[in-house]
């Protein structure tokens, strides 16, 4: 039997085996049920979750029937080269913690931007010290909020343009470019803070949509699962007495 890595987000569940951590599978879920394929079972399940408590509990119930052990990742103040800035580490979402863990060690100060349901930005010093971060609406969430207060706004996706000449493109452009502008602003602010050039990493389900407008950023995939695997390896490594 093998071990599995699970990343439960607000809209999707992603998983991989530790033998093939880059072979990611995923499924969308509703608010109450996860239809995990029956062949997914093994020795140990390593879980990261930012989903609502009922859905998280449902996943853990499913996994407890299929795995001998289930371990849930938690944000920690110090872990390897990473030190979290929050005085109360548990207030930092485990997805952000694991994404940062996947990035360290870094060779220069780095801005890590996660584009999912929310847009989160986290600043890393070259030493692996987490300087801090912020949370904002993602383009998807901005759009849903606008559509929720106006029935006249279109639901079509639209194209991103510097100055749109129709409502569909204007809505898409405003939401995407607002996120881009925030990332650019904090990127510059971090460079001023550390006094050296700063790298930027984009990841998450909406990252590919922003990347054309941030060509100097690096697009990464599955940082949460990769960080979860780092966390797993560290916990399974025997410590010297």
Q: Decide if 95 is catalytic.
A: yes
Distance from C-alpha of 162 to C-alpha of 219, rounded to nearest angstrom = 22
The domain spanning residue 185 has which CATH number? 3.30.420.40
121, 205: one domain:
yes
Show the tokens assigned to 10. Answer: 């607000």
Residues 20 and 66 in one domain: yes
Which whole number is the average pLDDT over 16-25? Answer: 89
The pLDDT assigned to 156 comes to 65
Q: Is the pLDDT reported for residue 211 higher than 90?
A: yes
Domain assignment of residue 39, given as a range: 4-72
Q: For all residues of the chain together, what is the average pLDDT? A: 93
Tens of pLDDT, residue by residue over 215-230, are 999 999 999 999 999 9
How far apart are the C-alpha atoms of 138 and 153, rounded to whole Å? 18
Q: Identify whether residues 111 and 176 lie together within a single domain.
A: yes
Residue 195 placed within a domain: yes
**What is the rounded distance in angstroms from the CA atom of residue 32 to the CA atom of residue 59?**
9
Share of the chain above pLDDT 70, in %: 96
Sign of dihedral through CA atoms 14, 21, 62, 73?
negative
For the stretch 183-192, contacts whose Cβ atoms lie closer than 8 Å and that sit 24 or more positions apart, written own/partner, are 183/111, 183/113, 183/119, 183/121, 183/210, 183/214, 183/217, 184/214, 186/111, 186/121, 186/123, 186/134, 187/111, 190/109, 190/111, 190/123, 190/131, 191/109
Domain shared by 58 and 153, yes or no: no
> Is 193 found in the same domain as 124?
yes
Identified catalytic residue from 3, 95, 122, 169: 95
Q: 4-8 and 42-49 as β-strands: parallel, antiparallel, unpaired?
A: parallel
59 and 162 co-located in one domain: no
User: 38 and 137: one domain?
Assistant: no
The 8-class DSSP code of residue 7 comes to: E
Domain presence at residue 116? yes
Residue 66 located in a structural domain: yes
Residue 223 has φ and ψ, to the nearest 5°, of: -65, -35
Region of 177 please: left (phi>0), alpha (psi -120 to 50) or beta: alpha
Contact status, residue 103 vs residue 80, Cβ threshold 8 Å: no
């Amino acid at each position: 039997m093998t071990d599995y890595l699970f990343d439960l987000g607000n809209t999707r569940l992603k998983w991989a085996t530790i033998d093939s951590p880059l072979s990611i599978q995923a499924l969308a879920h509703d608010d109450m049920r996860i239809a995990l394929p029956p062949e997914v079972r093994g020795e140990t399940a390593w879980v990261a979750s930012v989903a609502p408590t009922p859905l998280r509990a449902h996943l853990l119930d499913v996994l407890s029937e299929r795995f001998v052990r289930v371990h849930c990742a938690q944000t920690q103040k110090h872990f390897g080269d990473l030190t979290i800035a929050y005085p109360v580490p548990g207030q930092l979402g485990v997805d952000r913690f694991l994404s940062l863990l996947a990035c360290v060690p870094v060779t220069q100060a780095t801005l890590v931007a996660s584009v999912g349901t929310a847009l989160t930005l986290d600043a890393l010093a070259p030493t692996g010290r987490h300087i801090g971060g912020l949370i904002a609406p993602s383009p998807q969430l901005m759009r849903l909020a606008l559509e929720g207060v106006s029935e006249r706004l279109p639901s079509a996706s639209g194209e991103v343009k510097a100055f749109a000449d129709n409502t569909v493109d204007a809505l898409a452009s405003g939401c995407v470019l607002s996120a881009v502008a925030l990332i650019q602003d904090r990127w510059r602010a971090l460079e001023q803070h550390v006094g050296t050039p700063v790298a930027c990493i984009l990841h998450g389900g909406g990252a590919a949509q922003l990347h054309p407008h941030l060509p100097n950023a690096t697009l990464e995939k599955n940082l949460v699962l990769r960080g979860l695997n780092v966390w797993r390896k560290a916990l399974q490594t025997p410590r010297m007495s």
